[in-house]
Amino acid sequence: MKHDQSVVLLGFFARGNAGDEAFLHVQYELLKDKYNIIVPIEHKNAHPDFRSWYPYTECEVINYDDIPRVYGQDVVGLHIGGGSLAFGFSGQFLMTALDAGKKTLISGIDASLKPRLPPDHIRFDIYNRLDFLSVRTIKSLDNLRKNEVPVHHGADWALGLGVIEPPAHKRGGALVTIRAFGEPPGDEHRRDMLALHKYLERQGHRVRYLPFAPDDRDFLDHMPHVKPDMIENVWWDPRQVKGLIKAADVVVSVGRLHTLILSMTCQTPTFAIDPKIMSGGRHILNRKNLSFADEVGLTFFHSVDEMFEAYGDDFNTKVVPHDFRPDYYQRLESQQGFIRQILEAERGAMPKRGEPGHWSGPTPGGRPVEDTLLTLKTEEEAREEKRRLKREEKRREKLEARGKA
């Protein structure tokens, strides 16, 4: 081992998902100079080649059942994140770390509590035991603050990803990401993607496809118009993915969140189209991308036809770069800074909740508590008005029923 101390990094790793691999890259680069990095992997579902990918080549890779490793004297802490990881993700490692007295940190995630949970619910107990909890969205932040959970307003880890520049022949044109959702695409989806392809070509773009995961690559085989030489197959290395995005003229995301995030960090024009997720014959809106687009000011189209109508033949003038506001990058720096401080500090040395300097207090770029309170008040007033209208409707129905009697 290079260092005396180690940190366990947990996430949806080694599957080849470029977004999740980006999280590991950034976290590894943040901590590698001071700590050995331990990465637990669920080998059953891992990609068979993951051990040859960076940074797994530089890490101690353990099996998902090697929980006793957390008790090692060299282990100072355990970190979970980021993305949409559920509260119970890797719960066996989290509970072991708590039992072993290790520092526990969760960051760069989406999190929420369901309404009307009793105050003695185990979620509150565990959240309050964490040494650090940071979320990446305003929606998550406001939900946890409403429930009086200490929380930091952080950012998506992919904002800090490095880049590998592509060769000249892979630069320019339009890149399209199409997300797989477990089922082959239906006829409507195939027609829409073909129409999108032809439209981009009419606007003067060489169209290529950038799968973000192995499943996305397989999904493209169900698109007859997509030929192998149109596919940039580098999903295992998010730095190469970002390089291609940076060199593109425009990037279209049909379902992938991190297509949008990486495009924004590269200031490459981008927008989202709903991928028409179908389950049991019912359309499920891609709410994650819609919510993200709404928060950062990106354009989200509910269909390919809606995009055609909005841009027409002025596509190249109407689609413009859109970077994150400076406060997003400040939030990432704050998130990284607190993680380093907490891991390095002696137990009990960090400010406590409510004290100046605590991570749940005001931070650079973070959403002020006052804004949260105003939003919660507005939402409660809207819910009360909805309840009032419903009561009025029931009252009218009763009066009408009496009149008929």
Strand partners, 301: 273
Please tell me the predicted confidence (pLDDT) of residue 163: 98
How many C-beta neighbours within 10 Å does residue 108 have? Answer: 28
How many C-beta neighbours within 10 Å does residue 295 have? Answer: 13
What domains appear along the chain, each with residue ranges and CATH number? Answer: 6-160+328-369 (3.40.50.2000), 168-318 (3.40.50.2000)
At 306, which amino acid appears?
E
CA dihedral 32, 25, 9, 16 (to 10 degrees): -150
Answer whether 168's CB lies under 8 Å from 142's CB. no
How many C-beta neighbours within 10 Å does residue 236 have? Answer: 21
Residues contacting 318, CB < 8 A, separation 6+: 310, 311
CB-based burial of residue 392 (10 Å sphere; 0-12 exposed, 13-18 middle, 19+ buried)? exposed
pTM above 0.75? yes
Q: What is the pLDDT of residues 23-53, one digit of tens each?
A: 999 999 999 999 999 999 999 999 999 999 9
Please tell me the predicted confidence (pLDDT) of residue 402: 75
DSSP state of 156: -
| Strands of 132-135's sheet in order across | 60-63, 36-41, 6-10, 75-80, 103-109, 132-135, 152-153
pLDDT of 209 strictly over 80: yes
Give the Cα separation of 143 and 172 in Å (integer). Answer: 41
Please tell me the predicted confidence (pLDDT) of residue 379: 75
- Identify the weakest region by mean pLDDT among 219-223, 284-288, 309-313: 284-288
Give the Cα separation of 356 and 372 in Å (integer). Answer: 19
Q: What is the pLDDT of residues 320-346, one digit of tens each?
A: 999 999 999 999 999 999 999 999 999
Name the average pLDDT for the chain: 92
DSSP state of 367: P
Answer whether 18's CB lies under 8 Å from 257's CB. no
Q: What's the pLDDT band for 72 if we cut at 50, 70, 90?
A: very high
Give the Cα separation of 306 and 316 in Å (integer). Answer: 16
Q: What is the pLDDT of residues 113-128, one digit of tens each?
A: 888 889 888 889 889 9
Please tell me the predicted confidence (pLDDT) of residue 305: 96
